[in-house]
Each structure stands twice: as structure tokens, then as C-alpha cells.
Amino acid sequence: MATGTGAAAASGRSLTPLAPSKSSTVTGWHEFTIERYSATKGLGVGLYLPSGPFSVGGQRWQICFFPDGENDLDADFVSIYVDILNPSNNPNPRGGGGEEEQSVLALYGFQLLDGQGRPISKHRIACSPSAFSRAHPSRGFSQFMRRADLEASPSLRFDDLLVVKCSLSVYRSQPQPDPHHNYRLREMPALSKHLSRLLHSGDAADVTLTVPGGKSFRAHRCVLAARSPVFKQQLLPNNNNNNNNNNNNNNHVELGPIIVEDVEADTFESLLHFIYTDSLPPGESLIVEGSGKDESILKTQRLLAVADRYGVDKLKLMCEDKLCENLTLATVGDTLNLVERHNCPRLKALCFEFMTKFATHARQSNHSELKRRSPSSQHLVRTPAKRLRGNRTEASSSNNAGSLRRSARLRK
């Protein structure tokens, strides 16, 4: 009997497990009935209603139903899990002793029904068998169904009764699991998602950064300092003075607004998102194909510049990679001017190689725009290909090897 709320009552019934099939599994199901479902509303995130224990495949199991979601990120959903209770008499021993020997492989699925047995939700089944053990006793879906969709069901509103049906197929012999399937305790939100929410909510922010145009961003000095040596120097001026406790305490006092010069708002916003999450904002990519490609290349150039300015090396290398892959006659001048100012030897070498290949075409076309945008480009269209190849080789041999090693290290 579930006791998650005083007003809700729960009960259950099970199907007697079937005999082992040719695939060496034992299959059964259990229905967990929640009466007065509306009384569970507001139970709280992370709190659940447990079913009574039931048996399938020689093991004892329990359904856990979270009316308000299992985590904060799941607060708009109902979460459903099935737990194994004290796994014993392992039906598929793996040998070798220890805790690994006590794991039980099972395929599970859930469905929500009304009081008449009619489905309210789809029958969701795990994509491959999961390993249950004392260390990892619980499997399920953190976002099984939106709570608003569930509560909109006419039959649920009519009798206020919800049935959680759990089906299990317990393996008696070792199956071949999907080698690409990652067995996890539960699908927990990644650290990057929590930090993204922290950035966008502004909770506990202690610094304001203002870009040209007046747009301001609330942020956290400790995060900025941990990810950028430039921000560390700017925002934690007393960081190296360990003997001055009073100065160290001042690091926890909110600073006045920090003015960020010569950076567009969308570029700086992308930089902040990368600093917090190690990724670009959702739906944003460095280079887009189609009619907007040249504009996206310019945006990537601006992002590389600001990443170099604040010492965010991984983002700088990502931008450099994309620009290497997308050199065009329309953008090579700007790119070469960029690499001269921001120390990108690998990209500089590729610019020379690109201009070597297209030197004849450039000499025959109007290259005034190239000459205007980049000092180096003034001699490119006049310089013989042999000399350009020499410049490219020199740039590659002096700096490129170290840059490539650095890139590989940052991508680990």
C-alpha cells in the first residue's frame, strides 16, 4: 500500500509468471492501482508512491511512481521506475564472483491505464535488456509522460483512478545485449544542463557584464574565472594574495558592472554559454550551409576573436577547425587578417595553401577587396606559387605541429 499522501490509496495485482520460453525468459506483469490520483498532486519532486512487492522470474520487484517527477528537470512529467528488491538466486550468473555475479538482466516496460483498463499512455519499452543489481537496482523513464497530458485524460477526471502497468521479461540465460547501449542507473541530467540553467536564471550571480548597445548578462565570477584566465585576472584581483584574508573575503562581494568593449551581444552570449556548458547554445552551429553560409563564417570569425581574447582555447580551436573546412574566396581575406591578429598558425598555413591554388584566378579577378581587408593579401595575387608554397611550409613547420597536439589534447 502506497503512503506517499494521506488521501491517496494504492493497490496492485499481478499475472502469474509464464514458464520459460525458448528464448530463456520468464515474463510477467503487475498493475499498480492509485486511487484518488488527484490527491497526489503537489506531492513534491523526488517523492514517489511505491507499489507492493511482486514476483517475476524468481525475483521480487517494486514499481515507483513519481507524480511530480524524479528531478527538478522532470517537474513537468511523471516519472516511473521499477526496482529489484534484494536480487538473489541469480538466474543468469556471469561467473567470477563478487557483485557482478548478482546482476539480473530484464526487459521492462510501462503503460498507464484508467480504471476500466483502457490505455491513457503508449506502452513504452526499454530499447534493450537492462542489468539490475544491488548497486544499480532501479531502471525506468524520468520523463514518461507530461503531467498536464495525463491530467487532461477524461477517464482519469471521471473516476480519479490511475493504473500503472509494468511488464517484465527476466532472462534465464545470458542474451547478447546491444553493445552500444549504455546501462545506467537512471538518465540523470548532465552537469552542463544545470550550469546552463544557473546562467540563464541568474541565481546567485555576482557580476554584471555589459556589451555595446547596453545589453547586460548576469554571471558568476567563480565560473568565469575557472574557465578563462583573462576573466580570472579581471574578476579575482586578489586571487594570489593568500595571506590577506580581508581581501579574499572581498571576492564574495558583488562587483559593479563590467563594460565589455568591441563585442556584439550575440557573440558574447555564445561565449558565456560555452564557458558554462562547453557547448554552443541549443540550435546554434558554427557554420551553416546554404545562402547564410558566408554570414555564419563571419560570425564564427567573431567568435574565434572573442575566444582568443578571453583565453577560451577549446572554443578557439573549434572555430579554427570550422574555418579551415570552409575557406572561400569571399572570406579568405577576412580570415587571413583574423589569423594575423589572433595567432592561428594552422589556419594561416591553410589560407596560404588556398591562395596558392587560386592565385591565378585571383590575379584575373577583381582582388581590391582582398587587398583592402588584409595587409598580407596585397602581395598574394602577385607572388609566384613557388614562394607562396614556401611561406605555407614555413608557417606549418614552425607552429602547426604544436597547434595540432594542443588541439588533440583539448578534445579529449
Exposed (0-12), middle (13-18) or buried (19+): which is 11, by Cβ within 10 Å? middle
- Which residue among 284, 301, 325 closes a domain? 284
Asked if residue 333 is part of any domain, the answer here is yes
Q: Are residues 74 and 199 in the same domain?
A: no
- Are 322 and 276 contained in the same domain? no
In terms of Cβ atoms closer than 10 Å to its own Cβ (0-12, 13-18, 19+), residue 171 is: buried
For residues 106 and 147, state if they share a domain.
yes
Do both 96 and 156 map to the same domain? Answer: yes
User: Do residues 160 and 208 share a domain?
Assistant: no
Q: Same domain, yes or no, for 404 and 349? A: yes
Residue 181, in any domain of the structure: no
Q: Are residues 28 and 162 in the same domain?
A: yes
What pLDDT score was predicted for residue 371? 54
Amino acid making up residue 245: N
Q: Is 136 part of any domain?
A: yes
Residue at which a domain ends, from 171, 205, 235: 171
* Residue matched to cell numbers 477524461: 154
Q: Is 201 part of a structural domain of the chain?
A: yes
Q: What is the pLDDT of residues 291-314, one digit of tens each?
A: 677 788 889 999 999 999 999 999
Establish how many alpha carbons lie within 13 A of residue 377's alpha carbon, considering only the half-sphere containing its beta carbon.
26
Cell of 40: 497526489
One domain, residues 21 and 136: yes
Asked whether residue 129 is assigned to any structural domain, the reply reads yes
* CA distance linking residue 27 with residue 358, whole number of Å: 68
Q: Please, what is the average pLDDT of the chain?
A: 76
| CATH label of the domain that carries residue 159 | 2.60.210.10
- State the pLDDT confidence band at 111, using cuts at 50, 70 and 90: very high
- Please check whether residues 115 and 159 belong to one and the same domain: yes
Task: Please give the distance of CA 6 from its chain centroid, rounded to a whole number.
Answer: 38
- Cα(394)–Cα(339) distance, rounded to whole angstroms? 15
Residues 70 and 28 sit within 8 Å (Cβ to Cβ): no
Residue 305 lies in a domain: no
What angle do the packed helices 293-309 and 265-277 form, to 10 degrees? Answer: 60
In a domain, 390, yes or no: yes
What total of structural domains would you count in the chain? 3
Banded model confidence at residue 411, pLDDT cuts 50, 70, 90: very low
45-49, 97-101, 208-212 — which is least confidently predicted?
97-101
Give a yes or no: residue 410 inside a domain: yes
Same domain as 317, residue 240: no
Query: Please, what sign has the CA dihedral across residues 98, 101, 102, 104?
Result: positive
* pTM, 2 dp: 0.46
Which range, of 107-111, 145-149, 343-347, 400-404, averages the lowest pLDDT? 400-404
Summarised one tens digit per residue, pLDDT across range 339-363 is 889 988 888 888 888 888 776 555 5
Amino acid residing at 56:
V
Report, in angstroms and rounded to the nearest whole number, the Rg of the chain calculated over CA atoms: 30
Are 32 and 135 in a shared domain? yes
> Last residue of some domain: 171, 203, 220?
171
In this prediction, residue 14 has a pLDDT band, given cuts at 50, 70 and 90, of low
* CATH number assigned to the domain comprising residue 250: 3.30.710.10
- Reading the block at residue 409, the C-alpha cell is 589534447
Interatomic CA distance for residues 342 and 300, integer angstroms: 13
128 and 19 inside one domain: yes
- 163: domain range? 9-171
Q: Which of 151-155, 214-218, 332-336, 390-394 has the lowest mean pLDDT?
A: 390-394
**Higher pLDDT residue, 389 or 115?**
115
